[in-house]
Structure formats: C-alpha cells, structure tokens
Chains A and B, each alone.
Chain A
C-alpha cells in the first residue's frame, strides 16, 4: 500500500476507531429507540387516544399510531421541509414560495450553529481533561462583548467589522474561561464548581449590562441597541430564510479544532494532559499552561456561539437569549465522542430536533416538552450503551482476557 493513503487512513481512523468499532450502531439504535419511546409518550399524552380507546381497542391503537406518526411527520416537515410543498413551490417558480418551502431545512442549520460552537468548546475541554460546565455563561459574555463591538464601534467596513465583532465575542468567552482555568491551575479549584459559579455571575452580569450601560435608551425593556449593518453576518437568502455565514464559520472552527487537536504539537500536549497528566508531566509538558490555554480556547469557542447568535440571528442582545445552548452542548459533545466531526453531526441532530419541535407544537399540538424528553431519552440511551446492548442483544465490543472489570481503587 502507498504511504500517503496509509497516512490518510490513519488521520481518519482516529475518528472511526472511536466511533464505528461498536458505538456507531449503538448510537443509531439509541436514536431509533428514543424516537420509538417518544412516539409512545406522544400517544399516551394525547386526549384523543383515550377517547378512541373508549370506542374500541383497535380504534384506540389506530389513533395512537396515527398520532405518533403525525407527530413525526410534523417533526420532519418542520425540520427538513415538506417534500410536497417543495415540489409544488419549484413547479410554480415563485421565489418566495420556494424560499418558504425550503426554509425549515435552513432554519435547522441556523439552530445547529450555536450548538457546533458550544459542542466544540466542551469537546476541547474534555480532550484536556476539563469539564467545562461554564459554556452557557461564556455564551452570554461572548454575546455581550460581541454585540457591543457590533453597535458601538462605528465606521468600519464589513470585512473588518464582522471578524472584529466575532473576535470580541471570542475574547469575552475566553476571559470567562480563563478565570476557572487559572483557578484550577494555580489552586486546584475544581473547574466544575468554578464554571458553574461563573455561569451565575455571567447571567446576572449580562442582566445588569442590559438594564444599565448597554441598554438602548429608546426602549422600555432591557435590550441593547441594534448592531450596525456592517457587523451583521451576511445571510445567504432573502427572507424568511435566516441562514447566515455563521454556519460556515462554525464548520471552519471545527476543522481548526480538529487540526489543533490532532495535527499540532500543542494538541498532542493537550490530549496527553487530558489522558494522563502524570505522564504529561513526566514528558515535560507544563500542565498549568496547558490547562489555562485549554480553558481559554474552550471559552473562546463558547463566546463565538454567543456572538454568532447576536450578529447572525437577533442583531441585538435580549435577556435570556440563549435557552440552554451551553448545557445541551455538554450532552452533544459527549454524543459526538468529543471529536469535531462527531460534534458537527450531533449538533445537526440537536438543531433539527429543536427546530422540528416547534412545528410539532404548532401542527399537532404536541407540547415542546415532549421533544425535550425525546432528546433526554436518546441521550440516556447513548450514555448507557448497556441498555441498548441488552435490548437488542448486541455483543460486547471486544472479548479480552482482562476485560472483566476488576479495577481497584488503588488503580
């Protein structure tokens, strides 16, 4: 075999070794099972189903199936689009109708974008052995600094203003990551505790900023001014499609994180510290420096998620603008096996589910909570692969002599 192909195989195999050997099937089955269970859940929470059961068992079961089916159809059309509508729209040639028909798909991508940034932030931390729970807070700070750069800095051309505003967002998040990183490296304070505390500080700090220094004086409620045209992330289509270049920036960051982790000496150090800090010290790596830098970068990525939302979607900062992107990111980073490609895939899943949830609510009247439960069930199944393996009677990944878990606390 040629050396070049072998090398290519190696770089891809980092992902596939972890992803496919046994887990890929488990993940697919977990999603499938979650959807199945969600269907049952939808059925038993719908009144019509009960009414139908009063008539007869068969009509009850039929109604239950139909309800579940309709719900998932709504989920699909809401997140990807209605194929029939798309066909008709293209047939009619009406530009607005076409845009409306394909909007759900692009809206899902819009929803996925902050997840990608946030998921990368968590994944990068994980690779360095850090549990960054503070992504949500870093998103808030990044949004605040990003929006400020968006409305306060005037007279710049777009080509400079956009990167500058994104950079401000990244810097805000980086600062919010730097503090727990420094505390961890210098005092050993556990980052889980400090980042949670930093979250509260961030939420309240942004509330205060919105009420006083950054408040738009022309508004009654706490809102920042609109950002300038030059700071808006360009949209690729006309209304109603909100799809903007932020998605591509996110993909670009995923590629950058991939290269950083697996292709640079610094990524080698970071992964070493994450996998075995003792060996890293032995090998001459400065643990404190690596820890702080990893938290700073993780925070910067999270900050970009915030900046992306204000510069690409809302154009101003409102209170409670991020509804838990940061916390979902933790789950999806794990779902994506803390690999950039995995993060993109799981972010898309989350984005599509989240977007589809709305139309489920609108079209069939399923409460949005059911979608949250659906996500939770899928994640629970992935987090506990043993359940899936038992349900589907899958084999254990590898039979090895010392696989029987006899780990002692002395290690």
Chain B
C-alpha cells in the first residue's frame, strides 16, 4: 500500500534563503511522525507548503499515492490534510460549535444555522477521541489545552486524515501535554496520521513512531526513538555535539541578597495568587521555583519586580525594603528581570535591537546626556553586545521583531547581564527556545551565579529546575510547600510536591535512597 503522505524533493527558496532543500518525507498510516529541527530549520515552511500556504519551487506531494497540487488550505483540507497552528485561530466570543462550523456551516432550510446538528457531530467526535469537549462552551471561557482540542476537532470535523501539529506543546502545562499525548495516541489508533513538529527532544522520544530531523532546510537523518537517544538527536539537530547536562560546580553561597517574607499578592481576578510566601536567595546561588504553571509564579515575579502591588508582606533586596518601590527604583538597586513573556514585557518589537538593548538604561549616561538621547553611544553599545552575546542578526539596527525567539531572548539576556546586577529574576528563561539557545542561556546563568549574583529561577520545566538550581522551592496554590537542597531532591519528590502532595519523611528517605542507588550504579 502506498504511504498516506509522501513529499518528494520539496524545494523552496526565499530571497537569500534556501528554506527547503530537496526534502523527502514519507508518512505511513497510523503513525506519529516527528519533524524535529531547530527554529529556522525549515519545518514550518515545509508544513506551510503541504498545507497550501506556499507553493514549492520544486518537488511533488503525494497523498495515498495520488499526486496532489495544493494551492490553498482549502485544497489541503479537501485531500485530508489539516493543521493545528501554534497560535490558535479561534473566535473567542463564539462557542465551540460556532468555531468549528466556521467555514463549513450546517444550514437548515432558509439559510438558518443548524447548530444542533453540528453540536451533535462534535459530541460524537469528542466521545470517539476522548476529547471531553462541551460544544456549547465559549472559547474565552475554556483553558488553552481545551482550545487546542477545539482546533483538533475542527480538523476531525472536516474529516482530515493527516494532522499537522505545529509545536502543539509550547503553550501547554505538563498535565495538558500528557493529555494531548493520550489524545494523539487515540487518534492514531483510529487510523489517523500525525506529523508532530517540535524541537523538544524529550517529547519526541516519548511519543514519536518515527523521527525526521531537519537542519538548514535539509533532511539530515531519519530514525526512531528505539534506535536513538537524546544526545544523538540533539547533535543531529544542532549539527555539533551538544551538552544537555549543565556543567556547574558546587555553589558558594554568600550573604542573603534577596528576601521575601509573608508575601501576599492578588491576581487580576482578586484571588490570592501568592499566599504567604517566604524565602531567601543568597549571593552565588540559584534558587529554583518549581511548580505547575498558574500556581502564583507569575504574580510572585511581577510583585518582586514592582509591576504588581503586593497586598501584604515584605520584599527586601540588599537589605532595602523594595515592596512598594517602582520598577525603575528596583532596577536601579541592582535587580534584573528576564520576563516570562519576552515579546509582551521584555521587548519593543518595532524598535531596533540597539534600542532594545538600552530599554531600561536609556536615561543614564552614556546613553543619554541631559535630555538628549545619545544614539551614537547606544549604537556602539548595540554593536558590542550583539558580538559579545552572539546575537545572530545582520545588523544591530534592524527591528528586534526580525529575530528568532532564541535571539530575541539573547537580546534580553544581553541587556540584563551587561549592567552591574546583584540579583536576577529569570522567569521561564528558555521557554520556546531551541536546544542551542537553551544551552547558551543556561551557561550564562551559571556564569552569572559564579560571579556572585543571586538568581531566582522560575520555571515550569522540571528538567531545567533540576539542572540549574542549588536549592528548589516548590510552589503550589500560592504557597511554598517545601524548599529542598538540590542534592536531596529527586524528580519524583519535586513532582509529588508540584502536585500538592507532601510526602512523609519516610517516603522522602525512600525516594532519596533510590536516587543514591541510581548514582552508585
């Protein structure tokens, strides 16, 4: 039998870039085929070609052995190819049913929408694939994970057989990822095929049946989880040996730099998001805040950087009470902040890189004199930092929106690290980044620690917390459940705490013994 999908020699050129260079890809029925590659490797271009958004310069596409000529997403959907985009395309004020129907409306006599019929079909699909979706819910009321499932339903509703999922886990919490994987398994059991685009190695190993690795627009290898391991995949993807482990020495903690005492912060809805948190961060150590997303981390970070007013408690930096100071004052005392959402808070996308590199120091010498911006000095600084921090760009004067996610993050890191700081809050510093950038940013964080900076690392990636932290504070529902020494922490133990379960001393010892055993063997 012919494979369900076959791409032969797909080539796509953009001015100055060869985005896809004779790519061959074969997807069999009922398999999850992972397309692995760094940001900018050409994965998305390839999928946009398959989905009819771009037309290839060369190459052919076959679906079930039939040559296919796609000119628009409508052609793609007709031939059974559907795509779940990284950013959802849903109308928030519409219900699930209405969103699913959009573009393929069921109508009764007289042109009236037949919502009931559509809702029934959605219910049916939802039951078949265990999606657990209420067709009458409004999109704006349901969580991100559910919204993604609505996107999936949209495709199943149109009877897609090949589902392209573009970085589907980027926006999900760990639990939602688990659930998504279950759904993906159900779908392939029912005979669908899935192309899973990602740069996260762990997920590929967990779920893929086959793996195709793309680098620089070319297929560099094809393998399966059984035949491969994390390090091989990483090297294949990046094109050089990658050290997934973070090399770091024992920390040498100094005095207490940063202190939070009985802090209480409200979320925008007025609920207590941070409920009586207390912890300390010493010079030269990384305190990791572990926890599932939405357990108060966002509000905690916003409160200690002055972006949100705490309702109670105290925050001290270098012995100074900063609880009610403005963001600028806090920055001036020597605090740096890598924000959770780099595009929303950390950068002005329309500004040149050089200007973004002085976003919070533009008013200081030598960037300005009196009221005048010294563009020359800002540009010099930009050139210097672009070089020092290896920001990949043709020039420091192009808008920062032209950069890839990893390089945008490097701009923020460069900006925050290039001024004298004593304390750093790094919130999700590697979210959505490729392996190379993650490695780079981890290295820089540890360097900063070794220089004596106190670092508060907030991350929902358990691996990241385990690799970088010297101590780990686990937060659950706005409270610090426990603070562990990194050497006494295991993934299982932190995982339990993240789920809100406080293990007894006995259980702790058991988990620890297990860790020691693993270390010995």
Contacts and interface: CB of A to CB of B under 8 A. Distances in A.
Interface of A: 3, 7, 10-11, 13, 262-268, 271-272, 275-276, 278-286, 399-402, 404, 406-411
Contact of B90 (A10, A407, A409): A409
A275 B350 contact: yes
Given A281-B327, A401-B14, A409-B92, A10 B371 contact: no
Interface in B350-365: 350-351, 355, 359-360, 362-363
A269 B45 CA distance: 37
A162 B45 CA distance: 63
B45 A264 contact: no
A282 B339 contact: yes
Contacts of B379: 7, 10
Contact of B337 (A11, A267, A282): A282
A92 B69 CA distance: 75
B48 A408 contact: no
Contacts of A285: 328
Given A283-B359, A401-B44, A263 B345 contact: no
14 contacts: A7-B379, A10-B379, A265-B363, A267-B373, A268-B362, A271-B351, A272-B359, A276-B347, A276-B348, A282-B359, A283-B360, A404-B48, A406-B89, A408-B89
Contacts of B360: 282-284
B337 A7 contact: no
A276 B14 CA distance: 30
Interface of B is mostly: loop
B331 interface: yes
Interface in B77-115: 85-92
Interface in B27-50: 40, 44-45, 48
B375 interface: yes
B376 A402 contact: no
Contacts of B329: 284
Contact of A284 (B44, B45, B92, B327): B327
Contacts, number: 108
B373 A264 contact: yes
B462 interface: no
A398 to B, nearest CB: 8
A255 to B, nearest CB: 15
A399 B397 CA distance: 20
A410 B91 CA distance: 10
Interface string B362-385: 110000100111011001000000
B345 A278 contact: yes
Given A10-B397, A268-B373, A283-B359, A275 B351 contact: yes
B346 interface: yes
B371 A265 contact: yes
Given A10-B379, A267-B373, A401-B45, A284 B328 contact: yes
B394 interface: no
B229 interface: no
Interface in B326-344: 326-329, 331, 337, 339, 343-344
B349 interface: yes
B19 interface: yes
Contacts of A399: 14-15
B172 interface: no
A7 to B, nearest CB: 5
A402 B86 CA distance: 12
B493 interface: no
Interface in B20-74: 40, 44-45, 48, 53-54
B307 interface: yes
Interface string B302-327: 00010100000000000000000011
Closest 4 CB pairs of A and B: A284-B328, A408-B87, A283-B360, A283-B359
B14 A264 contact: no
B346 A279 contact: yes
A13 B350 CA distance: 14
Contacts of B45: 401
Given A265-B371, A266-B371, A282-B327, A406 B87 contact: yes
Nearest to A11: B375
Given A275-B348, A279-B346, A279-B359, 10 more contacts: A10-B397, A263-B372, A265-B372, A271-B348, A279-B345, A279-B348, A282-B359, A399-B15, A404-B54, A406-B85
